[in-house]
Structure 1
């Protein structure tokens, strides 16, 4: 499992290029997950081309990644999305992102759902 946390650092020209490491991880059978700005690293590596994915809005990845060719499989939704070995999420989806990551890592579904429900409580008033 490779998890790329979000943040504005991924939007900068000085963001690290993880292409080789991410592709090797996928080739080795790892699940690769990214939330918020971390999805830019996946776009730059070409990992979102041909898989359903989400991020911080339909214009976000095309505006930040010259390598991004995945707009045809972009899904505009507020929750995390898993397609095969790729998990993506927009910034305001930490609960569903945590659930997808934990489930993909092998945590039993009931336990992963409990974590999701606990995290979701943080956003309720």
Structure 2
């Protein structure tokens, strides 16, 4: 039985956190046969916290991303700035068609601001931190104080210190019939912490 290849979009902005996307992106491709595409706000390259340049396959225009099965937003301190890119249209379009959406670290802020936490349990870097940067966001009472990623419905959220559980929780939703593979990947990645 052959499975249709899944396409995962990974959203990067300036000063992206290098450690937050590697496990997810590489595992999706190597372990599960997905296609991963890089999205940036304007389709131009961005620089990571380490100064590495990440090139884009496309921009964040919702119309150009209808082929995506899932969307992972990667953290950056820029998500907390006044000039953070507006990804709400892309997030709302993805949510509206039932796609999986994940945000890690600072990238939990655009999910909060787009209203995606209104009815789901979620986490972030810290309860006070998310309330400071997204005051009065819908669903604040659903915040879960945990060091691991939280998945609820089609939404995954995590602190920047949880790239392994973020990757595993996200991939479980994208590949619900591949639990054994995802569990094997998670165990492999977390072995040094056992």
- Fold shared per TM-score above 0.5: yes
Shift of 1:21: 1.0
Structure 1 portions without partners, runs of 5+: none
Distance in 2 of aligned mates of 1:105 and 1:82: 12
**Larger RCO (CA within 8 A; separation ≥ 6):** 1
Distance in 2 of aligned mates of 1:60 and 1:69: 15
Which residue is 1:58 aligned to? 127
Shift of 1:67: 5.6
- Aligned residue runs from structure 1 range 15-30, under 5 A: 15-30=84-99
In the TM superposition, structure 1's runs of 4+ consecutive aligned residues that sit over 2 Å from their partners are none
> Do 1:45 and 1:67's aligned partners in 2 also have CA atoms closer than 8 Å?
no
Structure 2 portions without partners, runs of 5+: 1-69
Which residue is 1:111 aligned to? 181
* TM-score normalised by L of structure 1: 0.91
The question of 1:4 aligning with 2:73 is answered yes
- 3-state DSSP class of the match of 1:47? coil
User: Structure 1 residues 107-116 or 86-95, which shifts more?
Assistant: 107-116
Kindly indicate which of the two structures has a greater share of residues assigned to strand.
Answer: 2
User: Structure 1 residues 105-114 or 64-73, which shifts more?
Assistant: 64-73
CA RMSD of aligned residues (A): 1.6
* TM-score normalised by L of structure 2: 0.60
Aligned residues: 124
Which protein has the larger Cα radius of gyration, Structure 1 or Structure 2? 2
- 3-state DSSP class of the match of 2:172? helix
- Aligned residue runs from structure 1 range 32-71, under 5 A: 32-66=101-135, 68-71=137-140
